[in-house]
Amino acid sequence: MVARSDREETFAPLKDKTLFSVLRQQFMNDFGYARGPVVADAIIAEILQTVAAFVRPAQLLQPGQMLWMAVANDGRKHAHTQMREIPMVPVVLDLITAEELTALAGGESYEKVRQQRQARLLEQTMAQGGVLAQSDVAAICLVHRKQVSRAIQRFQAAEGRILPYRGTVQDVGGTITHKVEVIRLFEAGHLEHEICKLLPVEHSLTSVENYVQTYKHVLKLLERQFSLEEVSGILSISLRLVSAYVEIIREHHPDVLARHPHLQHQDDAPKAATG
């Protein structure tokens, strides 16, 4: 055995005064890994790597930024899975920017700035390998989730593109989001092959054509005064999807719903004649 020098004796042991060593002791002495140090070392290395992934972004935060946990955009849907079982990634988000402050100071409407902010949060998260749900945006901006949904729809209508949130990227929160977004783009005048490229996750032309064809069938059946339940049964699609299509039809083909008084909003109902 080679004798260590005085300096090695003095300084080498200090290299083991680390968090890794502390965790190793706990694994070996408290968690039953005394006979499996190699396994313990591998687990600890993975834990420290995960911790570092969270700590590093926090060290880089600038004024106006925040650290948030996003669901990993790993190509899986993670539908019907509890959040604690879903892979997540830390992302750094610009909660407020100099451009926003300039716009507000110049008289820009709060609503428009809010829409732009929410779009930025979604796109920044996507660029960092994550994806936000509308509920994330609601919590960050302290607004109701329905307000977030309306803001996203208005932004998408104005900009002609789809924002990347969990509903469109991972198709969660009710498995109909892609279909509805496709039909909104279709009613906005886009052709099927254009719609494929406008979605945040590109769809095949066949899928988009099928969505559009189903929507046209819904429209025709409603024109023939079938009920929503009958339309759902005939086309073998969910009643929720039929209802979502009805809202689009209400906007673009109100005359069709005129034949279904029970589907009309109060404002849509024909006014009684006055003498």
Q: Of 250, 254, 255, 231, give the one whose Cα is nearest residue 241.
A: 231
Which of 169, 200, 217 marks a domain boundary? 169
**Alpha helices per DSSP H over the chain:** 6-11, 19-30, 37-59, 98-105, 110-127, 134-141, 145-159, 166-169, 177-187, 192-198, 205-223, 228-235, 239-252, 254-257
What is the number of domains present in the chain?
2
Residues of the domain holding 244: 176-269
Q: What does the pLDDT read at residue 274?
A: 36
Tens of pLDDT, residues 1-48 = 678 888 888 888 888 888 898 898 899 888 888 888 899 999 999 999
pTM over 0.85: no
Which of 150, 169, 188 marks a domain boundary? 169
Q: What does the pLDDT read at residue 108?
A: 94
Partnered with residue 131 across adjacent β-strands are: 71
Angle between the N-to-C axes of helices 98-105 and 110-127, in degrees from 0 to 180, rounded to the nearest 10? 170
Reported as a pLDDT band with limits 50, 70 and 90, residue 137 is very high
Asked if residue 238 and residue 211 are part of one domain, the reply reads yes
Decide if 226 contacts 245 (C-beta within 8 A). no
Decide if 259 contacts 225 (C-beta within 8 A). yes
CA dihedral 132, 142, 144, 115 (to 10 degrees): -70
Asked if residue 97 and residue 182 are part of one domain, the reply reads no
Asked if residue 200 and residue 163 are part of one domain, the reply reads no
Asked if residue 123 and residue 196 are part of one domain, the reply reads no
